[in-house]
Amino acid sequence: MSLPSEKVRSTKLKFKGEKSKKKRKRDSDAPSASFKGQDEEEDPDTWVLPEGDLEIRGPTFIMHPSDPTPVSVNFDSTRNRIILHSLDRDSTSSQELPLLQRTPTEVAQVWVTTRVAGSSTINLRTGTGEGKFLSCDKHGIVSADREARGPEEEWTPVFMPGGMVAFMNVYEKYISIDEVAGGTMTLRGDSEEVGFKERFWVKIQSKYKKEAHEERKKREGATKSPTIDEAGTNRTYQAWGAGRSIVSHDDTRDLKKARKEGRLSEALLDRRAKLKSDRFC
């Protein structure tokens, strides 16, 4: 599945069979499990596994390794209900692939993940129909029939060892796979612990993973504590005597303490007064 990459991003979903898109070559030695090891020329529409909750965004494919057949979480816009679709019913070529290499074959398998800026929770909206939000009430009933999002439409993705994801609702219960009368599989949202039934595989598109990675780098760069460069500060703001700079290495600890207390500039001025030679006064 791919999305058009234009200046104005369309919300219409389409599949590879509709329009072919040439993929750039990748280094065969580069690992595919980690974003850092991916080739920069990778097709941005490639489906990959996220490595953190902030990477779950954009078109999202949710699978469960059920027995005897793995399923995907789908939305049937005709009946306006959530269904668990057997992945073994897909095309023959898809059936032959390992579960983690499978990708969506129809729009009904795709959810659109959004989040409010700065929030740890996400919203899952259907990728087909009128765009309804996945929700869970206090009784554990999971549905996708609400056009507006509120507390019951908020989900917290919880990453488990191995890369699988559990989804916790506002009532601090987990969504799970359940078998009802007649052997039909359904979703429910009242599990108190995370077991096999509560763990899902989630896939997103590579471009959204890259976007999250770049945002994380910017955020880490903005919050990184500045290093104390007394010599450079002296040359820029406090040099005297034809640019002569004097630095003492005996009170570095005091300068670090001053920085934590928010009085670094004052401390550097005091240092200048102590080190300044009388003949340059």
Taking only the tens place, the pLDDT of each residue in 17-29 is 555 555 554 444 4
One CATH from 2.80.10.50, 2.40.110.10, 2.40.30.10, 3.40.47.10 for 47-212: 2.80.10.50
**Nearest 10 degrees: Cα torsion 145, 147, 150, 152:** 10
Q: At what angle do helices 264-275 and 252-260 cross, to 10 degrees?
A: 150
Do residues 246 and 275 make contact, with C-beta atoms less than 8 angstroms apart? yes
Do residues 1 and 16 make contact, with C-beta atoms less than 8 angstroms apart? yes
Do residues 189 and 142 make contact, with C-beta atoms less than 8 angstroms apart? yes
Taking only the tens place, the pLDDT of each residue in 210-247 is 998 888 888 777 656 566 666 666 666 555 555 555 55
Ranges for all domains in the chain classified under CATH 2.80.10.50: 47-212
Q: From 83, 111, 261, select the one nearest 177 (Cα to Cα).
A: 83
Taking only the tens place, the pLDDT of each residue in 146-196 is 999 999 999 999 999 999 999 999 999 999 999 887 778 899 999 999 999
Query: pTM to 2 decimals?
Result: 0.65
